[in-house]
Amino acid sequence: MKRIFSLILILLMVIPYVSAVPILDASTRFLTEGKDYMDSTQEISLSLMALGSSYSIAENLTKENITLFVEELLERQNSDGGWGYYEGSISNVVDTSYAVIALKRVIDLYYPNENIYRKISKALENGLNFISKSHTLNGWGYIPNTLPEFYPTVMALWALGENGYTEKSRHVNEAIAYLESAESMEISEAKAVGLKILAYKSVGHQVPESLIEKAWGLVNSDNITIDERALLTYVLTTYEGLTFEVAKLLSRLEDLAESNETLIYWANAPDEWTNREVFAASAFAVMSFATANTLGGVGGIISIEDSCSALEKVQNPDGGWGYRAGYSSDDRTTYYVLKALKRCYFKDEVIEKGLEWVETRIPENMEKVSKERRLNSAYIYNLLTLLEFNMLNETEKQTHISFIKSLGEDGKWNTILGPQPYETALAIKALLALGVDPSDEDIVKAKEWLLSRPTDGWGLRIQVAIPFRVRYIMSTVPTTLEVLEALTPLVTKEEVERHLTWLMEQKIEDDGWPVVKEIYIRDILMYLGAPSVELTIRATKVLYDFGIDYHAETLNWLLDHRSDSLWGTTLTESALAVLFFSEMGEVVIKPLSLYQVLKQIPEKNFTILYTSNYNSTAVSLGEALSEVFEKSFEIKPFEGFGDSNYIVVSDFNTFNIPQYNPYIKVKSDDMHVYLGDKSYPINNTVILIPGKTSEGYLLFVLSSRGAEDIASTFLSSTIIKYLNGAACVVTHEDKNHNGVVEFDELNIELVG
């Protein structure tokens, strides 16, 4: 009965989309509220993909919403590891592939110690095993032991690619060869082309240009259904990025949306022979807009406050922070998190609670050190935390100085394996932080001993008593960093040159620093290191302290390691990222993109400001933008920028654009306006430039007087919502000589 009811409901909902509700908010709400009316595994899987791609973008979408879909898929999995078309139906490759892709795309929303993460991981393992066992000849049939067909093969390939398989993996190459020659008899040409591109891209196979051209030809035709258009728009947004042509696709897709006031969705036109495919169409549409949002949202300024807020939220009840969220509190992690939070708040209740935990920990760790007569990092980081917040008096400092010195011998601090560079470095750090003079005898001896190390970098040192000998185990980046951090205030660059060189050699090209770059045994590569956010940030700082600057590389590298305002995979890494960005001040990550500003317009208050003689242009733009964004704009003469966001209507010379966007330079003369190294006719050109003040966003709309119709015609199209690039140049040529500016006569160029 619920299926019949849902179809009747959907058939009635044919109101064109005119809602002022942000498109992703309303369309993801449609999917979450429509869950109980989804019968097929494909509908649930595609909806889960869409919700996962929109998480942290759609305002009212919660992890709980997503978890409901995850649990639904987990419950539907059959004992053989696969999924069927409906719950309880026989497992098949197509539906198993959809489920595996969906679960893989959302697993990272959960922490590895959560039960739901473990369930997803097991389900993926079983699902991939089902797909692997179902392989036949050079592809996949719908069920095990059947001849290959196009649809199950392309879906299996996509699923494998999403889970880390490449074209070098088993079965993948032969499946690609099969798809190159196979005809799709089961699905439409548009769907086959779209899925083929997604599958090829996922396994790292070069997508033929002819296939991309075919996708463009299909999506620009009038002979495809809306669910096919949504799929191809998603595919091309993913493959091409946010180009102007893709912006036109997104604009058209938005125009095809339907609504029932608070919910937005997409569906095929009612037809006797066509299924409306409302959930599939809506899911691919949502993924298109979410992908555009992600692609266009990297410009602007890093806010460390967001990361501090995220770190606050994962504080444990005892006051400390664990290695990862939900883990038991860890002394070293807590040190770095509190140090990071200090950059945002100096002190607040969260910090006070953390410091109280540290105060309870230090006597416990000190007692343990005293019994073992060996330093440990827990005690040292407790001590460094209290010193960071100036919580030790002089008497207490002297107590700790004496205690640490009593554990060393001749400038060396031991473990059960003998004197160690790591523990000695910790002792130096602590003694210097406690105020011990660098000329102190123990510190001088420790420095000399560390610099006497015969190999480049530092690692584990093993001392065997009988017969007495010392063996140096391979140098590692963590130990080397600990030693260099300790030695920084004590040595010259020349004294540690070879160790700095070794450290730089450990960096993976175009990537970060691992524990160790690689290990060979008898010329055979046995280990290849994986880069770490923590080690990369620490290495960058150490090298910078010696005059070697990797800040720009590290900054760009870090952009790919952000998740919901946190960084890397551990809380220590997130805290170090906060410290890294705070030391760089207000950081412009990349040239601010148009999309980054335009996407703020529906969400924030924008005032239209105009300079002398641009009043009528501002009014025309206000009317055009009100239609596109379905909101009103206050229009005022320019008297300066306040603490809001502004659309600025002016000529080409009034504003010093680099002051608001350092990557854009505009100048003009009587005949031309110049943007970078290109020139445009001044009387028929409008330039859109994103900018930012310390308080908000700016959108400059620059033109000569008389270009009012060009600006208003262009800005009245929903295409502007999806413009990307560093700037947009709009020129006009009156092709039909009627004196009227028409959209088809505009030449639109995205710059950068």
Residue finishing a domain among 246, 273, 293: 293
Mean pLDDT across the stretch 568-575? 92
Confidence of residue 13 (pLDDT cuts 50, 70, 90): very low
Question: Has residue 425 been placed in a domain?
Answer: no
CATH of the domain at 614: 3.30.379
Mean pLDDT across the stretch 165-186? 89
Q: Which helix (H) or strand (E) holds 639?
A: none
Mean pLDDT across the stretch 41-48? 97
pLDDT at 470: 53
pLDDT at 113: 82
Question: Has residue 106 been placed in a domain?
Answer: yes
User: Given the DSSP bridges, would you call strands 135-136 and 645-650 parallel, antiparallel or unpaired?
Assistant: unpaired
Question: To which residue do tokens 């000190």 refer?
Answer: 366
Mean pLDDT across the stretch 150-164? 96
Write the burial class of residue 590 (CB in 10 Å: 0-12 exposed, 13-18 middle, 19+ buried). middle
Mean pLDDT across the stretch 203-213? 95
Evaluate if residue 217 carries a pLDDT over 80.
yes
Split into its structural domains, the chain has a count of: 2
Question: Has residue 260 been placed in a domain?
Answer: yes
Residue finishing a domain among 245, 271, 293: 293
Question: Has residue 584 been placed in a domain?
Answer: no
Evaluate if residue 11 carries a pLDDT over 50.
no
Task: Using a pLDDT cut of 70, give the percent of the chain over it.
Answer: 92
pTM over 0.95: no
Average pLDDT, the chain: 88
Please list, in sequence order, all residues whose beta carbon lies within 8 angstroms of the beta carbon of residue 688, skipping any fewer than 6 positions away. 594, 699, 700, 701, 702, 723, 727, 728, 730
Q: What is the DSSP letter of 584?
A: T
CATH of the domain at 229: 1.50.10.20
Domain region containing 624: 594-751
Question: Has residue 273 been placed in a domain?
Answer: yes
Evaluate if residue 364 carries a pLDDT over 90.
yes
Question: Has residue 88 been placed in a domain?
Answer: yes
pLDDT at 663: 75
Task: Using a pLDDT cut of 90, give the percent of the chain over it.
Answer: 64
pLDDT at 478: 95
pLDDT in tens, 527-563: 778 899 999 999 999 999 999 988 878 887 887 777 7
pLDDT at 465: 54
Evaluate if residue 590 carries a pLDDT over 70.
no
Please indicate whether residue 659 or residue 218 has the higher confidence score (pLDDT): 218
pLDDT in tens, 54-104: 998 887 899 999 999 999 999 999 999 999 999 999 999 999 999 999 999
Confidence of residue 189 (pLDDT cuts 50, 70, 90): very high
Question: Has residue 418 been placed in a domain?
Answer: no
pLDDT at 4: 30
Evaluate if residue 211 carries a pLDDT over 90.
yes
pLDDT at 485: 96
pLDDT at 10: 34
pLDDT in tens, 371-397: 999 999 999 999 999 999 999 999 999
pLDDT at 705: 85
Please indicate whether residue 661 or residue 8 has the higher confidence score (pLDDT): 661
User: Given the DSSP bridges, would you call strands 645-650 and 606-610 parallel, antiparallel or unpaired?
Assistant: parallel
Mean pLDDT across the stretch 420-439? 95
pLDDT in tens, 268-321: 988 755 578 999 999 999 999 999 887 754 444 456 777 888 898 899 999 999
pLDDT at 608: 96
Mean pLDDT across the stretch 359-366? 96
Residue finishing a domain among 293, 311, 338: 293
pLDDT at 585: 53
Confidence of residue 16 (pLDDT cuts 50, 70, 90): very low
CA 198 vs CA 43, 76, 154, 193, 251: distances in Å:
18, 25, 9, 9, 22
Question: Has residue 154 been placed in a domain?
Answer: yes
pLDDT at 2: 34
211: Cα within 13 Å, side-chain hemisphere: 22
User: Given the DSSP bridges, would you call strands 566-567 and 727-732 parallel, antiparallel or unpaired?
Assistant: unpaired
CA 162 vs CA 78, 102, 132, 201: distances in Å:
21, 9, 14, 9
pLDDT at 274: 57
